[in-house]
Amino acid sequence: MSSPFAPLFAHIARYVPLSAAEADTLQTYLTRQTIARKEHLLTEGQICPANYFVLRGCLRTYLATEKGNEQTIQFGIEDWWLTDYASLDTQTPSQFYIQAVENTEVVVLDRRVQEEVFSRLPQLERYFRLLLQKSTAAALFRIKFIFSLSGEARYHHFNSTFPGFVQRVPQYMLASYLGFTPEFLSKIRAKVSHT
């Protein structure tokens, strides 16, 4: 299969069976989009336009804090869906930004067709239910780590869970994702390399 959506279909197949006819139907609802590094798919105040599946590259969700910093709350790499469900579900302005960390290619499932696709393809609804169960579980684990590990321990845990990922993002983004300052991350790394 040489569809431009092939990696998505492969991902779906890992969760639910999807016939060729169903894949064709789904295809008519999807588009592809390329975003250059630092460009935004979503900006604070905007209604989140779609759900995005990363084909290549890396996205992040962040928010602007009152002190003028960016707080990264989520990364999305290959084979991950990323969106702001709060805004998508209720058609209300988002409090977040979704930005490309690298030059990125995504599959776009527009919010205006999402419910219609689910009605036509119950298997796809199941696929999303299963993914959402996974991400709900992941969010609980994230909260567990935030509250039960020190900053330094969170960094090491993240590194061993996602080896190599540290190289893909600027340290200040990773620091805010892990819940501390870039200066503190710098100190952790200095400590490690002196060992």
The binding site for DNA (CB under 7 A) comprises 67, 150-152, 170-172, 179-187, 189-190
CA 44 to chain centre: 16
Calculate helix-pair angle for 151-161, 122-148, nearest 10 degrees: 140
48: which DSSP letter?
P
Q: Are strands 50-56 and 81-82 parallel, antiparallel or unpaired?
A: antiparallel
CA-to-CA distance for 188 and 177, rounded, in angstroms?
Answer: 15
Among 31, 33, 43, 133, binds its own copies (CB under 8 A): 133
Is-contact 24 13, C-beta < 8 A?
no
Residue 134 in the binding site for its own copies (CB under 8 A): yes
Cα Rg of the chain, angstroms: 18
Site string for its own copies, 57-96 (x = CB under 8 A): ----x-x-xx----x-xx---------xxx-xx-----xx
Q: In the bound complex, what is the minimum distance in angstroms from residue 90's beta carbon to its own copies?
A: 9
Q: In the bound complex, what is the minimum distance in angstroms from residue 67's beta carbon to DNA?
A: 6
Among 10, 36, 143, 192, binds its own copies (CB under 8 A): 143
Nearest by Cα to 91 from 62, 115, 59: 115
Q: In the bound complex, what is the minimum distance in angstroms from residue 96's beta carbon to its own copies?
A: 8
User: Which residues sit at the interface with its own copies, rule CB under 8 A?
Assistant: 61, 63, 65-66, 71, 73-74, 84-86, 88-89, 95-96, 118, 122, 125-126, 128-130, 132-137, 139-144, 146-148, 176, 179
